[in-house]
Structure 1
Amino acid sequence: MVRQSKSPSASPSHDPLVSPPKRTGITRALFALKHSYDGLLATFRAESAFRQEVALAVVLLPCAVLLPVAAIERVMLIGSVLLVLLVELLNSAVEAVVDRISLDRHELSRRAKDCGSAAVLIALAICATTWGTLLWPVLKQWWRAHR
């Protein structure tokens, strides 16, 4: 029997079908944090809607911290703003994947992008409803005190 030597491309470490060993512990967390940061930065650079929503968050988040509301209400105010950013990130991911597959017009591509857009609209409605509902009593009280 003749023994064949393995070529470097045939070794498991070079096989594209074999996954590299998974990172664990703090190394995994650090790499996940870096990838998350890269995603935020890439979305901020590429998506004007995300930049507008970040600008809104820069105003609303400090307001949520400073407003005279109960802790659970503060969490709802902050959560509703972060929800908008979260859904916009997911929408941007869907759009990037659809565009990566093909820039040709296709009904399924349009539907996927429209669904992502609708999800952002619903997140914005949740945010506006939360802020309106929780701020109305605060604004009413302030108005009465300053009339």
Structure 2
Amino acid sequence: MALNKPEYTLFKNTRYALTGLLEVTKNEKSFRLQIVLFVFGMIVAWSLPIGFVYKAILSVSLFIPPIAEIINSAVERTVDLVTFDHHELAKRAKDAGAALVFLSLTMLAFIWGLTLYAAFYL
């Protein structure tokens, strides 16, 4: 019995990934806000008068919240697939996804704070 397992190739996997990225971008306002933060952060990071390594750290850290938002969206869609009714476990799953996004933003702020402190004061 095949369980919804398509044949995987590099090109098909890439297409699936890009389809998922487009779907999340189109249907999730929070993800679009994360993309605005990402673009703004990249502009700021590469405009600052700091060394390349500091810019790279700031830039890489900007990927954390969008990744967390994609995971949160996957959790929400899975819960909605199972039930639209209010259920305590469904709420907990969605709250855990929201906590992931919150922690990713907290981590981003921490990384930026430490990196900018090191770049300008050490």
Same fold (TM over 0.5): yes
**Deviations 1:66-99 (CA, angstroms, capped at 9, x unpaired):** 4333444333212221011101000000000000
Q: Which amino acid aligns with 2:36?
A: A
Cα–Cα, structure 1 residues 108 and 82, in superposed 2: closer, same or farther, change >3 Å?
A: same
4+ residue stretches of structure 1 with deviation over 6 A? Answer: none
Alpha-carbon shift at residue 62 of structure 1 (Å): 2.9
Q: Report the counterpart of residue 52 of structure 1 in structure 2.
A: 33
Counterpart contact for 1:80–1:123, Cα < 8 Å: no
**Structure 1 runs not aligned, ≥5 long:** 1-16, 141-147
Counting matched residue pairs gives 121
RMSD between aligned residues: 2.3
Please state whether the residue corresponding to 1:128 is helix, strand or coil: helix
**Structure 2 runs not aligned, ≥5 long:** none
Greater CA radius of gyration, 1 or 2?
Answer: 1
TM-score, normalised relative to structure 1: 0.72
Q: Which amino acid aligns with 1:98?
A: V
Counterpart contact for 1:91–1:113, Cα < 8 Å: yes
Q: How does 1:124-143 map to 2 (within 5 A)?
A: 124-136=105-117
Q: Indicate the percent of aligned positions where both proteins have the same amino acid.
A: 32
Q: How does 1:1-147 map to 2 (within 5 A)?
A: 17-18=1-2, 22-23=7-8, 28-136=9-117
The separation in 1 between residues aligned to 2:27 and 2:6, in whole angstroms, is: 32
